């Protein structure tokens, strides 16, 4: 069974299995591709997964920007009270909010890259590869920025009342480690 209309006589297929078709007057150029069923399912699964990740990433960006601009606690009070550490002051809550927003931007960039990978399988073109690589690398940079912002915030330990940043806790754990 052919997916091409009967009026179009396709030339020989390209290496990817696509046919170029002469479009009707006044419309854009068209191409018809013959997909395997498995390729189409993988492409659709990647696109759906990317859309779900994009929605989660957008929620993280909004949530982080809210915390960065208002210096309010990001977690509900009941959950925040169960945690052993809390941000020391407004500056640290803002740093943590900016870190969450940066992590959301990283997730957004990587999700868009995943969406392009899924559409690349559908379009069978090579141009998204460079864009995907650039999105992934910039997403990793935002992820590193998120880690740096969160490690720079100072936290109050509720057990012993000490105030230390993530860098202080990391260095003390390396000092106490026995190799």
Continuous segment of H or E residues that includes residue 89: none
pLDDT of residue 149: 96
Domain housing 59 = 44-170
User: Does 72 share its domain with 94?
Assistant: yes
Number of structural domains the chain divides into: 2
Alpha carbon 79 to chain centroid, angstroms: 26
User: Does 29 share its domain with 51?
Assistant: no
User: Does 166 share its domain with 104?
Assistant: yes
* Residues 6 or more apart whose Cβ sits within 8 Å of residue 98: 64, 67, 68, 149
Instruction: Determine phi and psi for 175, rounding to 5 degrees.
Output: -65, -35
- Is 17 or 137 the better-scoring residue by pLDDT? 137
User: Does 20 share its domain with 65?
Assistant: no
Considering just the CA atoms, what is the radius of gyration of the chain in Å?
25
pTM value?
0.72
pLDDT in tens, 113-160: 888 877 765 555 555 678 888 999 999 999 999 999 999 999 999 999
pLDDT of residue 15: 44
pLDDT of residue 32: 52
pLDDT in tens, 33-92: 555 566 667 777 878 888 899 999 999 999 999 999 999 988 888 998 899 999 999 999
User: Does 72 share its domain with 109?
Assistant: yes
Instruction: Determine phi and psi for 155, rounding to 5 degrees.
Output: -125, 145
pLDDT winner (highest mean) among 97-101, 109-113, 163-167: 97-101
pLDDT of residue 74: 85
User: Does 25 share its domain with 51?
Assistant: no
pLDDT of residue 13: 46
């Amino acid at each position: 069974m052919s997916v091409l209309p009967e009026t179009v006589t396709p030339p020989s297929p390209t290496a990817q299995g696509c046919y170029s078709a002469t479009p009707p007057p006044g419309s854009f150029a068209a191409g018809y591709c013959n997909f395997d069923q498995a390729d189409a399912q993988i492409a659709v699964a990647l696109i759906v997964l990317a859309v779900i990740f994009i929605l989660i990433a957008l929620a993280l960006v909004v949530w982080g920007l809210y915390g960065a601009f208002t210096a309010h606690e990001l977690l509900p009070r009941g959950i925040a009270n169960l945690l052993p550490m809390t941000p020391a002051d407004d500056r640290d809550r803002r740093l943590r909010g900016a870190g969450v927003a940066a992590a959301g931007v990283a997730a957004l960039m990587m999700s868009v890259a995943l969406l392009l990978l899924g559409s690349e399988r559908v379009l069978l073109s090579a141009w998204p590869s460079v864009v995907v690589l650039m999105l992934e690398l910039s997403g990793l940079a935002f992820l590193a920025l998120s880690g740096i912002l969160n490690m720079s915030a100072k936290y109050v330990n509720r057990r012993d009342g000490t105030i230390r940043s993530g860098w202080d806790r990391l260095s003390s754990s390396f000092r106490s480690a026995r190799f």
